[in-house]
Amino acid sequence: MSNLSITQQPEILPQLRRESIRRIVEQGQRADGRAHLEFRNIDIIVNPVKTADGSAIVKLGNTVVIAGVKTSIGVPYPDTPDEGALIVNLETPPLASPEIEPGPPDENAIEIARVVDRTIRHSGFIDFKSLCIVPGKYAYILWVDIYVLNHDGNVIDAACMAAVSALSATKLPKAIIEQDQAKLIRDEKIELKVDKSKLPLTITFIKVCNSLLVDPTLEEENVSDAKITIGVSEGKIVSIQKTTGAFDRDDIVSIISKSVELYSKLRDVVLSKISSESYSYIRI
């Protein structure tokens, strides 16, 4: 693979549909009836996957993602000998959309995984020191694998929600040291320490005809003039990723303050969904 980033073929959307979506936005509404700053319906299934150490399925309208956490033991990085590691991977398997061919993660998947990673990492949500087993020698590695099952826009916010929901529900296999070797006892589990008050979430805005919209559908993404994702944790901005288009300074200032406002509501929704301790199984 060569890291050559190429202007992407836009999905073919009939000109009429395109204009209709934009016109509705100009009239202060959206094609699916939502307000500009309203998220789609959110459904979260916590720990549906028995083979994972933690997992979640998130449905954001018709966008469906599943995240699973697996644990392994590694050597801490030299500059943080008393911390464990987080590795976030996102794949868009070809079942998610007619546009996707099978293959290793492309630049879009890599970007989303890296933004989700940064958002979680800088929020203080995970206590990385609690993942240390033997300083400088052994630490937990948390592998968060996110799979997109149906892509109807705003995968990044759904992916971040799924990752933090899965981590919230993660139980680590106990680590023991035998003959100077660390091993995991997968039958004995200890809870992963997370600080739910710092629950990190991303909020994605698009700009359409000078209006700002959150949680865009795929159609809305395709007619948007610009797109940006803000990672928020407890009122702090923990990541920003502008993708397409351009924004002026005032747009950004407005987006930042809107994202902090929306965050509180969104966090409450997510926390209420993930704290319901009912039996769960894989359903889509």
**Residue 199 CA to its chain's centroid (Å):** 12
Per-residue binding letters, 93-122, with a second copy (x by CB under 8 A): --------xxxx------------------
- Per rule CB under 8 A, is residue 14 in the interface with a second copy? no
Task: Give whichever of 101 and 250 is closer to a second copy, judged by the CB atom.
Answer: 101
User: From the list a second copy, another protein, none, which binds 64 (C-beta under 5 to 8 Å, kind-based)?
Assistant: another protein
- Per rule CB under 8 A, is residue 240 in the interface with another protein? yes
Of the candidates 18, 193, 242, 273, which one interacts with another protein according to CB under 8 A? 242
- Per rule CB under 8 A, is residue 179 in the interface with another protein? no
CA pair distance 192, 17, nearest whole angstrom: 47
Task: Give whichever of 101 and 277 is closer to a second copy, judged by the CB atom.
Answer: 101
- Per rule CB under 8 A, is residue 277 in the interface with a second copy? no
Q: CB burial class (10 A; 0-12, 13-18, 19+) of residue 250?
A: exposed
Scan for tokens 């965050």, then name that residue: 263
User: From the list another protein, a second copy, none, which binds 147 (C-beta under 5 to 8 Å, kind-based)?
Assistant: another protein
Per the CB < 8 A criterion, the answer to whether 228 and 255 are in contact is yes
Of the candidates 13, 43, 97, 127, which one interacts with another protein according to CB under 8 A? 97
Nearest Cα to 67, choosing from 76, 78, 56? 56
- Per rule CB under 8 A, is residue 3 in the interface with a second copy? yes
- Per rule CB under 8 A, is residue 52 in the interface with another protein? yes
**Residue 192 CA to its chain's centroid (Å):** 19
Task: Give whichever of 28 and 57 is closer to another protein, judged by the CB atom.
Answer: 57
CA pair distance 149, 55, nearest whole angstrom: 14
CA pair distance 44, 160, nearest whole angstrom: 12
User: From the list another protein, a second copy, none, which binds 151 (C-beta under 5 to 8 Å, kind-based)?
Assistant: another protein
CA pair distance 38, 262, nearest whole angstrom: 9
Per the CB < 8 A criterion, the answer to whether 239 and 230 are in contact is yes
Least distance to a second copy, CB of residue 129, Å = 23
Which residues contribute to the site for a second copy (CB under 8 A)? 2-4, 101-104
